[in-house]
Amino acid sequence: MNNYFVLVVDDEKEIRDAIEIYLKNEGITVLKAKDGIEALEILNEHTVHLIILDVMMPRLDGISATFKIREKQNIPIIILSAKTEDTDKILGLQVGADDYVTKPFNPMELVARVKSQLRRYVTLGTYGGIKKVIDLNGLTLDQEAKEVTVHGEPVKLTPIEYKIVELLMTNAGRVFSIDEIYERVWKEPGYNAENTVAVHIRKIREKIEIDPKNPRFLKVVWGIGYKMEK
């Protein structure tokens, strides 16, 4: 692949080195860190196109590191962990991970997932700057004009509704928890935010969906939150 940089973060040197071998065979440059703090330091100094991040690490674990990374960057993150419980997968996705691979893993499967995420990020995503116009099968967001249209027809959204749609569309396919939506849009802690967010989601659906009860664009992921369908 074209000169991509992947940051591999794991407290086990053998795993870091093994992943590096497979990614190098694909022409990918690998940066390595042994914990979340070292990973954040590398991100401040280098351009990185994707992160493979272990969950259980000293000093700063993978979940906490993901949360901190998501405050500033939208780099694809693949969580890597020996834990297989659904709650751990959900937590990783809630804080902003894009994919989840459990140990022991098939190296070629991991490589395939890395290549898929890189392709989505660089070709279809926001790498290199804000994507000005985003179209999701007829639902279109123009970030410069601050306009949303459905099959060419303009939709009148309130400023808050627009911010919610923009957040979900610029991260299409990613699930956001109710608290995270509230914190990102209202810029304050999302305590008891469920009703507030739910009301705005319902109003947005009434404006962008042909059948709000069977939404095509704005989907609920039960027990987790909401996402905009790719």
Mean pLDDT of the chain: 87
Same structural domain for residues 45 and 24?
A: yes
What was the pLDDT predicted at 200? 95
112 and 148 fall within a common domain: no
Instruction: Say whether both 112 and 157 belong to one domain.
Output: no
Distance (Å, whole) CA 11 – CA 87 = 22
Q: Retrieve residue 66's tokens.
A: 């993901």
Split into its structural domains, the chain has a count of 2
**Are the CB atoms for 166 and 145 separated by under 8 Å?**
no
Range 183-190 average pLDDT: 83
Helices 178-186 and 159-169 cross at an angle (nearest 10°) of 120
Q: What is the predicted pLDDT for the residue at 12?
A: 93
Are 118 and 137 in a shared domain? no
pLDDT band at 104 (very low <50, low <70, confident <90, very high): confident
The CATH number that applies at residue 159 is 1.10.10.10
Distance from C-alpha of 132 to C-alpha of 145, rounded to nearest angstrom = 9
Give the span between the Cα atoms of 170 and 187, in whole angstroms.
18
pLDDT level of residue 23 (50, 70, 90 thresholds): very high
**Residue 41 burial (C-beta neighbours within 10 Å; 0-12, 13-18, 19+):** exposed
- CB distance 4 to 50 below 8 Å: yes
Q: Evaluate whether 50 touches 112 at the Cβ level (below 8 Å).
A: no
- The token duo for 114 is 């890395």
pLDDT value for 201: 95
Would you call the peptide bond into 215 cis, given omega within 30 degrees of 0 as the criterion?
no
Q: Which of 124, 149, 175 is the C-terminal boundary of a domain?
A: 124
- CATH code at position 109: 3.40.50.2300
Query: 191: how many CB neighbours lie within 10 A of its CB?
Result: 9
Give the confidence band of 130 by pLDDT, cuts at 50, 70, 90.
very low
> What are the pLDDT digits (tens) for 53-99?
998 888 888 888 998 888 777 788 999 887 666 676 777 777 788 88
Q: What one-character DSSP code corresponds to residue 229?
A: -
Q: pLDDT tens digits for 31-40?
A: 999 999 999 9
Which is nearest to 51 in space by CA: 37, 67, 32? Answer: 32
Q: Which helix (H) or strand (E) holds 54?
A: strand 50-54
Range of the domain at 87: 5-124
Contact (CB, 8 A) for 163 and 178: no
User: Can you tell me the distance from the alpha carbon of 211 to that of 230, in angstroms, rounded to the nearest whole number?
Assistant: 18
Q: Do both 9 and 93 map to the same domain?
A: yes
